[in-house]
């Protein structure tokens, strides 16, 4: 197993449960208004177009050719399975030729978050893309912009949304993979009040064309001269607070470095509880599923609940069923009772 699992220490003040940690509604595009939707983006719940004409792909469609090519895995833009579940979106992020007379043609997807972002909190953003088979161009200019108000462009002369994206793929990382899903991720400190997420190419052609690659020579529907990508599984979640603070650190120490790759360094995530009456530890993935649990009351033998004890539970990065967890950010809830009988809860 070769992976890095990040467990980041922060105070969790939100009333949301761990199953609601992701602030992006319909983040896998699985909610729509028809039993078997077509490629019309308007069928998707919560999401809307910031510019251009975005396409919706779903596995219930079986016709791979245009204009009915909105299936999964086969569709008019190529062949690609969903990252998870049964749907994804497709959008053009660059075109080497004007589309309907529009220069700098772009397509953007946009959604209103469940909640606005808190000032000075650090938020992590993740999504996955894959280059369509019919695309002749691959680019690196793919990013995410968080804003207080929604943004849009009517595409009269250009479709470009000229904003400084907080999350931006590395300009040297041209995404050419047409077989696999490529993760784009990053973090930023919120100014406060941001509640809309927009994903697309926020660079003009001058910059984009300095960081692109010609990958094939197709001639399909005019989109061969474009960088057309599928997108799936979008997440925005708080991953750090303005100030790291752990109360009663003399009683409970929580490690915040965890890389279970069996190299002998930080292979386990540990909690050291010194002289406490009780200790409970739970670890959840970002979907709210419990992957690890420890409870001192479940230990064998008789325990004197008035006697202070030292505990040192450790998680090795495997689920309770013995399977390695995937790369990502995980969340913990730790409850412990101090010698004076006071119960404390740490979340991070």
Question: Which is more confident, 109 or 256?
Answer: 109
Residue 236, pLDDT score? 96
DSSP secondary structure, 57-91, as one string: EETT----STTS---SSEETTEE---SSTTEEEEE
4-27 mean pLDDT: 50
pLDDT of 5: 42
Per-residue confidence (pLDDT) for residue 14, from 0 to 100:
29
Q: Given this model, what pLDDT does residue 3 score? A: 40
Diameter over CA atoms, the chain: 79
| Residue closest to 133 by CA, chosen among 218, 16, 231, 36 | 218
Taking the CA atoms of residue 188, residue 189, residue 193 and residue 194 in that order, the dihedral angle to the nearest 10 degrees is: -10
Considering only CA atoms, which of 117, 192, 180, 195 is closest in space to residue 150? 195
Q: Which pTM does this prediction carry?
A: 0.65
Q: For residues 33 and 18, is the Cβ–Cβ distance under 8 A?
A: no
* CA separation for the pair 244, 10 (Å, rounded): 6
- Give the DSSP H/E element, type plus range, for residue 293: strand 290-295
pLDDT given at position 73? 87
User: What average pLDDT score do residues 40-45 get?
Assistant: 80
More confident residue, 291 or 184: 184
Q: Is the pLDDT of residue 320 over 60?
A: yes
pLDDT of residue 346: 82
pLDDT band at 304 (very low <50, low <70, confident <90, very high): low
Highest mean pLDDT among 154-158, 293-297, 344-348: 154-158
pLDDT tier for residue 15 given thresholds of 50, 70 and 90: very low
CA distances from 100 to 88, 95, 96, 159, 200 (A): 25, 11, 13, 12, 20
First CA to last CA distance, the chain: 25
Segment 215-251, tens digit of pLDDT: 987 755 445 589 999 999 999 999 876 543 334 445 7
Residue 126 has pLDDT above 90, yes or no: yes
Give the pLDDT of residue 85: 82
The pLDDT of residue 265 is 63
How buried is 151 (Cβ within 10 angstroms: 0-12 exposed, 13-18 middle, 19+ buried)? Answer: middle
Instruction: Report the pLDDT value the prediction gives residue 254, as an integer from 0 to 100.
Output: 77
Sheet strands side by side (includes 87-95): 55-58, 87-95, 226-240, 122-131, 182-189
């Amino acid at each position: 197993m070769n992976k890095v699992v990040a467990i980041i220490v922060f105070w969790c003040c939100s009333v949301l449960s761990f199953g609601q940690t992701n602030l992006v509604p319909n983040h896998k595009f699985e909610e729509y208004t028809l039993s078997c939707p077509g490629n019309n983006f308007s069928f998707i719940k919560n999401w809307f177009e910031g510019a251009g004409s975005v396409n919706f792909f779903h596995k219930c469609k079986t016709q791979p050719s245009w204009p009915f090519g909105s299936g999964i895995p086969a569709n008019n833009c190529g062949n690609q399975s969903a990252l998870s579940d049964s749907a994804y979106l497709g959008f053009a992020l660059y075109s080497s030729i004007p589309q309907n007379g529009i220069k700098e043609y772009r397509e953007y997807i946009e959604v209103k978050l469940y909640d606005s972002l808190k000032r000075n909190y650090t938020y992590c953003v993740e999504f996955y893309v894959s280059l369509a088979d019919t695309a002749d161009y691959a680019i690196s200019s793919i990013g995410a912009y968080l804003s207080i108000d929604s943004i849009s462009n009517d595409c009269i002369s250009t479709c470009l949304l000229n904003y400084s994206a907080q999350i931006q793929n590395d300009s040297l990382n041209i995404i050419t993979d047409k077989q696999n899903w490529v993760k784009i991720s990053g973090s930023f400190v919120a100014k406060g009040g941001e509640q809309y997420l927009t994903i697309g190419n926020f660079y003009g052609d001058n910059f984009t064309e300095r960081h692109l690659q010609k990958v094939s020579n197709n001639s399909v529907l005019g989109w061969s001269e474009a960088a057309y990508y599928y997108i799936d599984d979008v997440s925005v979640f708080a991953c750090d607070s303005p100030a790291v603070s752990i109360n009663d650190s003399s009683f409970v120490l929580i490690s915040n470095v965890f890389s279970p790759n069996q190299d002998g360094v930080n292979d386990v995530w540990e909690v050291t509880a010194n002289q406490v009456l009780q200790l409970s530890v739970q670890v959840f993935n970002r979907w709210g599923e419990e992957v690890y649990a420890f409870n001192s009351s479940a230990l064998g033998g008789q325990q004197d609940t008035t006697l202070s004890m030292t505990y040192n539970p450790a998680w090795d990065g495997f689920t309770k069923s013995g399977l390695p967890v995937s790369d990502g950010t995980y969340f913990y809830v730790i409850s412990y009772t101090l010698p004076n009988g006071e119960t404390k809860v740490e979340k991070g």
